[in-house]
Structure 1
Amino acid sequence: MEWVLWVAVAALLLLPAAAEAGMAYYTRARCFDDLAAVPPCDYALVLGTAKYVAGGGLNRYYRHRIEAAAALWQAGKVGAVVVSGSGLAETLSETVCMQADLVALGVPVAAIWQDPAGLRTLDSVLRYRAAFGGATVCVVSQPFHNRRALVLARACGAAAVAYQARAVGIRGGWRVQLRERFARLRLWYDVLARTPPRHSLAAVPIRQYPGGDE
């Protein structure tokens, strides 16, 4: 029975590599670093993260995503922007912050939709698909995050590409990179199990907040 143990060990070692290879194969033609090359889309979907890091400084992942989304809008690549993140708690809302900072960069408030129940990438993508159907979407996040989002988009039938926000060096985001390794393994479970979002659109709608907040 020793061979069974070795097969199990080999499978555990190869699984992450296989997951990575499959993700890279599907997404390589759908991720864009060059703004000019991004095809026009109905919406940008900005994946949320906290505006500030634990020490109180500005989160560079956040800043680069906001700048990338604003650039898409200014270049006429998207007709509206959906900001998706954690906005249900009494603490600082990710979606409120994202909307305010996009407005500061010239995106009209009337062109912004908030999804305060985008608690995970899965929630953000599936809720977008449920709300906007076949409308084309350009996901906005860092490269490692975009690849995972595009796999989820394909699984739920969303017509998606991605624009790469500026990456953060390993020294500035090693914890995020470590979490990403586990998130990619969970991705395939979620796809196969058809995991639903935590909150339905009926319970927490995606909507506009013309007044600037919730």
Structure 2
Amino acid sequence: MSKIGIIDYHVGNLRSVQKAFELLGAEAHILRHPSETASVDKLILPGVGSFAAAMGFLNKLGWVNPIKQHIKTGNPFLGICLGMQLIFEGSEEEAAPGQLVPGLGILPGKVVRFNENIDSPSPLKVPQMGWNAIHWDRNDPLLQGLQQDAYVYFVHSYYVQPTETSDTPITSARADYGHDFTATVWKDNVWATQFHPEKSQRIGLKILQNFAAI
């Protein structure tokens, strides 16, 4: 059985992710030091809160290069919520006008904020907080065994805009909140979810089970 590592960089509820894997009978360990990434087969970057603060912790605690090395060697990686946003090139959150707070740059694209003033049937509440349906047309291994329009749990004010084409897709599932937005991404051995699978009950457990089985 593969060994899963959950990165502890002082951001997010790591124990809830670990407990979800324990329910599945999967071996998941919370990693306290970057050197521990060498001892795991799969790596998870969870996260909640500020993009800039999270990147500050990743840099200060020395996680950036080990994360990139893990991915470079072809080992599976999963970002969750803020962890999904961090793997892109940068975020508008707390950035100067026209600029981005730099991210890990693993995938091309940026992170932008939902617009409360968007033209929609009802006022858009930001953050999006609650259950929403996801839909997809790619055969993403993370979504195997799920039915279209499965409901998962979101808590976020920002979302990713991947730089992608039909020939080089990154988005693997979408959801609607005022407009379509990227809910999951998949590129080679990199997966990420904007929602919290560990809070998404049966559907979320299936997604984590799929990741453990990759």
TM-score relative to the length of structure 1: 0.30
More strand by share: 2
Higher relative contact order (CA 8 A, sep 6+): 1
TM-score relative to the length of structure 2: 0.30
